[in-house]
């Protein structure tokens, strides 16, 4: 049986060990989310609604933001 302070220190170690991954996820969400919003404003509507854009860029951005960064 581990005591309370030991559990807290173990949780802290786990948290510190996962910080790089968390940072990468946050970076992914920020970068690709910004790219998505910029594309929403910059690209013409017929490009954004084209099948090619949806199956390539839009889905890639969605995965990068929601799965990797979420």
Partner 1 sequence: MKPAATGESGATPEMGAGRVAVKKAAGNVVEIGSIAAFGFSPLWLLAAASDVLNGTRVYLQTLEEELTNAGILAEGAQFGSVDQLLGALGDTTGTTAGVIDMPPIELQELRRSVSELAANATSLPRPGELAALFDGLVRTARAENRSLLEVSSGVGLAFLTSARNVTRDHLVAPYRDDWRPLRNEGFGAYAVRVSGPIATRSAGTSTPIGTRSRSAASAGSAGHGWHSSGFEGSVRATPEKRPHRGLRLPEARGAEPGAASTRRGTWRRPAPGQERGGQEPGHECPWRRGRSPDRRRTRLYGGGVLLLPDTTSMRPRRAAGERRMAPDVRGEGPSSGAGGPRAHRPGATPSGGRRCA
Is 70 one of the binding residues for partner 1 (CB under 8 A)?
yes
Contact criterion met (CB below 8 Å) for 68 and 28: yes
Nearer to partner 1 (CB atom), residue 9 or residue 23 = 23
Contact criterion met (CB below 8 Å) for 35 and 65: no
Site string for partner 1, 11-50 (x = CB under 8 A): x---x---x--xx-xxx-xx--xx-xx--xx--xxx----
Q: Which of 6, 9, 56, 59 binds partner 1 (CB under 8 A)?
A: 59
């Amino acid at each position: 049986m581990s005591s309370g302070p030991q559990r807290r220190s173990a949780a802290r170690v786990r948290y510190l060990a996962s910080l790089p991954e968390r940072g990468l996820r946050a970076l992914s969400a920020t970068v690709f989310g910004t790219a998505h919003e910029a594309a929403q404003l910059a690209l013409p509507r017929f490009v954004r609604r084209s099948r090619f854009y949806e199956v390539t860029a839009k889905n890639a951005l969605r995965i990068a933001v929601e799965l990797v960064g979420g």
